[in-house]
């Protein structure tokens, strides 16, 4: 595996070196820290990526990080996208201001869901899941997408909280 | 069936919009991921839905448990308050009901939960609880705007670094849980 996915991603995006006080604090919750990293691998680089290839996962993660202005994570995920094999379209996906021209496409439906559930999850309803079904996603795809969105939002909140501790 | 859209402390059932894994047809990896859930007698519909992605579920369950139940640091009740704040912002009615009831069991202070259910995000709470609750609301609603103000509010109420770390994680794991539970299904009143 590449340097983007080995080591601890959160330590790395926060620039926590050996000897840092915050790194030592995180290590008091060693199990939680390790499971956060293994959850990252399960969300971004699962053994069976199925209908969500690694580069698409990285691009969607970069987009969600950009939506919350989580600059360090956005940079990390753009780097990961580069390594996984980027395309012009995936670079667009990573840009939180971009939406596909064909609003009826599978990708457009996926990104509408990503944007909604990232920024305004309380507004999500059954109709949003029906829209994903209508765009051709199966039940497992929907759980895959929900899991990716949910994990990256968790990571964004953890990084935001840790930055507060690092900088104060 | 009665869909519940408003916050309640009544016991609820959760009905998924997508197909749960059929236990009798589950793969060995799915069965393995399901085994580590705390409810060992009956697997919930929620966990059976998540088992569609067994690799993720197998990491998520122990992570959730460690965040909410690990020894030391922030009290169990304090973590439930972080979970409740996140669930109120994200309007996860099911998550809120479960964790409000757990808070009451642990802390024996139903008045804290009553005030949150009455006033929502504007709840007026005893100082220490207010600091935890406000942090949960702020981190959930504005992760791009959490900093010195939130930090000093927590410090002023005496939270040390490990307690703050535990609070961050209890809020963040509900940023995760709410985005599954509130988007993949809906709560119904128990019949």
8 Å CB contact of A122 and B182: yes
Nearest to B153 by CA among B166, B170, B138: B138
Average the pLDDT over B12-19 and give the result. 96
The chain B residue lying nearest A71, using CA atoms, is: B144
The per-residue pLDDT for B84 is: 98
Q: Tell me, what's the pLDDT at B2?
A: 87
pLDDT at A2 over 80: no
How deeply is B22 buried, as exposed, middle or buried, from its count of CB atoms within 10 A (0-12, 13-18, 19+)? exposed
Distance CA A60, CA A78 (A): 10
Does B40 score more than 90 pLDDT?
A: no
pLDDT confidence of residue A4: 58
Inter-residue contact A41 to B180 (CB < 8 Å) = no
Q: What is the pLDDT of residue B38?
A: 52
Region A20-49: mean pLDDT is 97
Which positions in chain B touch A154 (Cβ < 8 Å)? 172-173, 175-176
Confidence at residue B100, expressed as pLDDT on a 0 to 100 scale = 97
pLDDT digits (tens, 9 = 90+) for B88-144: 999 999 999 999 999 999 999 999 999 999 999 999 999 999 999 999 999 999 999
* pLDDT at site B42: 76
pLDDT at A150: 98
- pLDDT tens digits along B150-177: 999 999 999 999 999 999 999 999 999 9
Render pLDDT for A17-30 as a digit per residue (tens, 0 to 9).
Answer: 999 999 999 999 99
Flag if A129 and B139 touch (Cβ within 8 Å): no
CA distance B183 to B49: 12
Fold adopted by B1-191: AhpD-like (1.20.1290)
Measured in angstroms, the CA of B145 and the nearest CA of chain A are apart by: 8
pLDDT at res. B35: 74
- Judged by phi (left if over 0) then psi (alpha if -120 to 50, else beta), residue B42 lies in beta
What is the complex's ipTM, to 2 decimals? Answer: 0.96
Contact B184 A129 (CB under 8 A): yes
Structure tokens at B90: 């994200």
CA distances from A48 to A124, B51, B55 (A): 27, 14, 9
pLDDT score of A5: 60
DSSP run (H or E) holding B164: helix B161-184
Q: What residue spans define the domains of chain A?
A: 9-167
What pLDDT score was predicted for residue A41? 98
For residue B145, pLDDT beyond 90: yes
State pLDDT tens for residues B21-38.
998 888 989 988 987 455
What average pLDDT does the segment A42-66 reach? Answer: 98
Report, as an integer, the average pLDDT of A53-66. Answer: 98
CATH class of the structural domain A9-167: mainly alpha
Q: Are A104 and A97 in contact (CB under 8 A)?
A: no
DSSP-assigned letter for residue A79: H
**pLDDT at site B43:** 87
Name chain B contacts of A160, Cβ cutoff 8 Å: 139, 143-144, 146
Q: Is A156 a residue whose pLDDT tops 70?
A: yes
Structure-block tokens of residue A92: 């667009």
**Given A48, A142, A161, which is nearest B139 (Cβ)?**
A161
Put simply, the answer to whether A32 touches B67 (Cβ < 8 Å) is yes
């Amino acid at each position: 595996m590449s340097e983007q996915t080995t080591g601890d991603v959160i330590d790395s995006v926060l620039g926590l070196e050996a000897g840092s006080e915050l790194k030592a604090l995180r290590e008091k919750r060693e199990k939680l820290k390790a499971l956060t990293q293994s959850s990252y691998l399960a969300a971004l680089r699962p053994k069976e990526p199925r209908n969500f290839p690694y580069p698409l996962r990285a691009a969607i993660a970069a987009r969600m990080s950009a939506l919350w202005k989580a600059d360090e994570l956005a940079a990390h995920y753009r780097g990961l996208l580069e390594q996984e094999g980027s395309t012009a379209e995936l670079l667009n996906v990573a840009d939180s201001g971009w939406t596909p021209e064909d609003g009826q496409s599978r990708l457009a439906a996926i990104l509408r869901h990503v944007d909604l559930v990232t920024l305004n999850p309380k507004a999500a309803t059954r109709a949003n899941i029906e829209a994903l079904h209508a765009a051709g996603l199966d039940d497992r795809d929907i759980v895959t997408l929900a899991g990716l969105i949910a994990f990256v939002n968790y990571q964004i909140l953890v990084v935001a909280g840790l930055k507060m501790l690092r900088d104060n | 069936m009665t869909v519940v859209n408003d916050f309640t402390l009544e016991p609820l059932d959760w009905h998924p919009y997508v197909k749960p894994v059929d236990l009798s047809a589950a793969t060995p990896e799915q069965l393995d991921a399901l085994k580590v859930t705390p409810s060992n007698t009956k697997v919930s519909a929620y966990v059976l839905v998540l088992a569609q992605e067994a690799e993720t579920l197998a990491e998520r369950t122990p992570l959730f448990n460690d965040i909410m139940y690990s020894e030391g640091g922030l009290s169990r009740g304090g973590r439930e308050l972080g979970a409740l704040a996140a669930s109120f912002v994200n309007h996860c009615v099911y998550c809120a009901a479960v964790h409000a009831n757990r808070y009451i069991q642990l802390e024996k202070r139903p008045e804290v939960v009553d005030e949150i259910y009455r006033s929502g995000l504007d709840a007026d709470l005893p100082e220490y609880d207010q600091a935890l609750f406000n942090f949960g609301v702020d981190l959930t609603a504005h992760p791009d705007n959490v900093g010195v103000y939130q930090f000093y509010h927590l410090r002023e109420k005496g939270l040390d670094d490990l307690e703050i770390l535990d609070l961050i994680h209890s809020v963040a794991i509900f940023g995760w849980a709410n985005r599954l539970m509130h988007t993949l299904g809906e709560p119904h009143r128990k019949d």
